[in-house]
């Protein structure tokens, strides 16, 4: 499901079951992340699927990438793998005007 920036962030903040998932590359990740995010690079192909399969399917996933294309694809893959709730951030981190942290 695609959500606007404000909707995505508000929902994630109110959701006790939220996991923020960044599907960008490690280089992109190192340039700054949305606070609390975990990183699984969608470009890893089968490796992405293996890593996602390890995640808790009962959680709600708030997914983003640079511009919204890869995260939309990631949400679709996650739905096919049995994840009921995956929200795509429209416009990605490129259009993000919320908080950005350095990854630890």
Give CA–CA dist 13/10, Å, rounded. 5
Q: Which helix (H) or strand (E) holds 88?
A: strand 86-89
In CATH terms, the superfamily for domain 2-95 is Rhodanese-like domain (3.40.250.10)
Give CA–CA dist 86/88, Å, rounded. 7
Whole-prediction pTM:
0.97
Examine the residue annotation and report whether 65 is marked as an active-site residue of this protein: yes
Contact 90, 4 (CB under 8 A): yes
Q: What is the DSSP letter of 31?
A: T
DSSP 3-state of 86 = strand
Contact 60, 19 (CB under 8 A): yes
Each of the 104 residues of the chain gets a pLDDT tens digit; together they read 999 999 999 999 999 999 999 999 999 999 999 999 999 999 999 999 999 999 999 999 999 999 999 999 999 999 999 999 999 999 999 999 999 999 98
Catalytic residue among 33, 65, 66, 75: 65
């Amino acid at each position: 499901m695609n959500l606007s920036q404000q909707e995505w962030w508000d929902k994630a903040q109110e959701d006790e079951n939220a996991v923020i998932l960044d599907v960008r590359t490690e280089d992109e990740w190192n340039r700054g992340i949305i606070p609390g995010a975990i990183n699984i690079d969608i470009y890893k192909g089968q490796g992405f699927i293996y890593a996602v399969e390890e995640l808790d399917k009962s959680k709600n996933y708030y997914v983003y990438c640079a511009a919204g294309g890869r995260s939309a694809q990631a949400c679709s893959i996650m739905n096919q793998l049995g994840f009921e709730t995956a929200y795509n951030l429209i416009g990605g981190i490129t259009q993000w005007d919320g908080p950005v942290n350095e990854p630890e």
